[in-house]
Amino acid sequence: MSSADPRAIMLLSCPDRSGLVSRISHFIYERGGNILDLDEHVDTSEKMFFIRVSWSTSNFSIPACELHDAFAPLAKEFGASWNISLGDRKMRVAIFVSKYDHCLQDLLWRHSIGEFAIDIPLIVSNHPDLEPLAARYGIPFHVFPVTAATKEEVEREEIDLLQQHDVDAVVLARYMQVLSPQFVNRYHSRVINIHHSFLPAFVGSSPYRQANERGVKIIGATSHYVTEDLDQGPIIEQDIVRITHKDTLDDLIRKGRDLERLVLARALRLHSEQRILVNGKKTVVFD
C-alpha cells in the first residue's frame, strides 16, 4: 500500500467485551502495520466500546482497495459500527453561509495557512453578500435564494451540487436556514453547526439578548451535528467567556462571535481528523 500520507485511521464502536484492543491491534500488526496512535474508551453504563487507531501503511500487506473487505469479518463478529479512512485523501467540505462573515472569514483564513487538512470545493449561500470574500480565497460561490415556496426545490439543487463536487461534510458557518430532514438524513453526522449559546439554553432567536436579560455571568458557544431536532444534535465542542455587570448587549455579541469562530474551527478540525464517534445523543471525542 503506497500513499502520499501512508496512514490509515479507524473509528469503531461496538458492545464492550474482553480483548477488543488486542484483536484490533493484532489485525494491524500481522499485516505489517505500525500503530502511530491509539485511544479507546468504554462507557461502563451503556457497556459500549469506542476506539480510534491510526497506523502507518508503509509496509502494510493489504492494498487500500481491499482494506475494508479484509476488516469486515472482524467488525461483523464485534457487531461494530466502523469506518477506515486513508491519509492520502483530504476530506471535501462545503461551507454554507448567509450574511454573517466572522465564521467564514476564520475558516477560510485557517484553511489558507494549512491548519485544516481539507479541500473546500465550494461555498453555498442564500444571499450574495459574501461572494467577494469567497473570491478573495479563490473558492466558487453559489447563491440559492430561499423562500418557503422554493425551499424544497432549492435543497434538491444544493444536494445535486454537493454530489457533483463529491462533498463529504457540510459546515454551517452561521447559515440562517433550517435544513430539512431529507437533507440532514442524507448527510447524517456530517453537517456541523455553530450555535451562539450553551445548548440547550437560549434556543432560537436573539440568544444574546436573552442572556443579557437574564444577567448571565458566562456565555458560551456550541458546535454540534445537525439532526431533525432543531439545535439538539450531538455536541462536538463548546467554550465559554465570563461576563460582568459592565458588559452591554453589544459586548456580549462581540465576545460571543469570538467564541463562535474558535468553537466552529475546533469542531471542523476534530471532524476532519476523524476524531469523533457519535453515541446516540452524545459524542466521544478523541483529542
Which residues are identified as catalytic?
Answer: 231
For the stretch 142-177, what's the b/e string if a residue is b when 16 or more beta carbons lie within 10 angstroms of its beta carbon? bebebeeeebeebbeebbebbeebebbbbbbbbbeb
Q: What distance in Å separates the CA atoms of residue 175 and residue 108, rounded to the nearest whole number?
A: 15
**105 is written with which cell numbers?**
472569514
Indicate the burial class of 287 (C-beta count within 10 angstroms; 0-12, 13-18, 19 or more): exposed
Amino acid at 86: L
Q: What distance in Å separates the CA atoms of residue 210 and residue 90, rounded to the nearest whole number?
A: 40
The residue ranges of DSSP E strands in the chain, in sequence order, are 7-15, 34-43, 48-56, 81-86, 91-97, 118-125, 141-143, 169-172, 191-195, 218-225, 235-242, 276-279, 282-285
Phi, psi of 278 (to 5 degrees): -85, 130
Q: Determine contact, residues 82/10, Cβ cutoff 8 Å.
A: yes
Question: Residue 31 in 3-state DSSP?
Answer: coil
